[in-house]
Amino acid sequence: MISTTRVHATPASDPATGRVRWAPLQSIWTLSMVVIGLAGAALTLSWENLAVFLVTTAVTIGLGHSIGMHRLLIHRSFACPKWLEYVVVYLGVLVGMAGPIGMIRIHDMRDWAQRQAACHDYFAHRRPFLADAWWQMHCKLQLRHPPRVWIEAEVREDPVYRFLESSWMLQQLPWAILFWALGGWGWVIWGIALRIAVSLSGHWLVGHFAHRQGHQGWRVRGASVQGFNIPLAALITFGESWHANHHAFPGSAKLGLEPGQVDPGWILLLVWRRLGLVWDLRTPESLPARDELQRLPADRRRGGSCPVLAALCHAH
């Protein structure tokens, strides 16, 4: 199996044994955003507020989480100037999940566990729908014998990332003040609380189904958890829902790999490459071969539905 370089396991490291405990701060944060977002949205419903929600969600989830946090900071699947890295990672912090260092720790620990022969139900999303929702959005897993997660000094000691890590919840405050000044409480509710509530819930939903059922182009032999593609969520996740592809080629900046699989994040990166903003984009062809990858028959794969976007996604 491929190694997760930040996770340093010993023979005693065990991804399957541990206790799921309630995480008060995480739970209160999530519940407050859901309650304020849903209740406030019902009282301030308007086309203007809906537009604020759609724009802010697209920017933070698309540019921030998919491009900044996931493809760049976590997987280093492309290179860019430091100023651009800071911008897109900052937008990822505004999603409201965690700070940059925390996101790396959560992601890499989960990836490591899923690649082992056995792992805890928490990592695998094996519990029933509502139970998994509670676990993922309100709890944390404490492994009995965890591996060590060692984040590179370039990130760990970066003053910008250290500041964002210590203040990631507070980063919503300047935007709340600006939104209130421009559009009143409606903009604050739809652009902050409802956006975070939907983003957190949507991230869990995609993770839940993308590890349980769907279509696959590849299977990872020996891994206790497989990834599956969720075509219906491709556009709204910026291509992140092609999760079977990501399990097969985690270092690839290109997530939509089969014909017809729409990947808006890859399209944007191609545009940025043309403008000279990014370079060294990694694709499956440029990654080391993996002996544990098994190519599945054509009837197990599935593409998207827009030929124009699909053609752009598969451009080089």
pLDDT in tens, 1-46: 333 479 999 999 999 999 999 999 999 999 999 999 999 999 999 9
pTM for this one?
Answer: 0.92
Asked whether the predicted pLDDT for residue 63 surpasses 90, the reply is: yes
Q: Mean pLDDT for the chain?
A: 94
pLDDT in tens, 112-160: 999 999 999 999 999 999 999 999 999 999 999 999 999 999 999 999 9
Burial class from Cβ neighbours inside 10 Å (0-12, 13-18, 19+) for residue 111 reads buried
Question: Which range has the worst mean pLDDT, 25-29, 51-55, 213-217, 264-268?
Answer: 213-217
pLDDT at 314: 52
pLDDT at 302: 63
pLDDT at 1: 32
Distance of CA 199 to the CA centre of its chain: 10
Asked whether the predicted pLDDT for residue 299 surpasses 90, the reply is: no
Kindly write down the DSSP assignment for every residue of 256-291, as one continuous string: --STT---HHHHHHHHHHHTTS-B----GGGSPP-T
Asked whether the predicted pLDDT for residue 228 surpasses 90, the reply is: yes
Question: Residue 29 corresponds to which tokens in the numbers above?
Answer: 């944060």
DSSP strand pairing (148-149 vs 7-8): antiparallel
CB under 8 Å to 265, separation ≥6 — which residues?
62, 66, 67, 71, 238, 239, 240, 253, 255
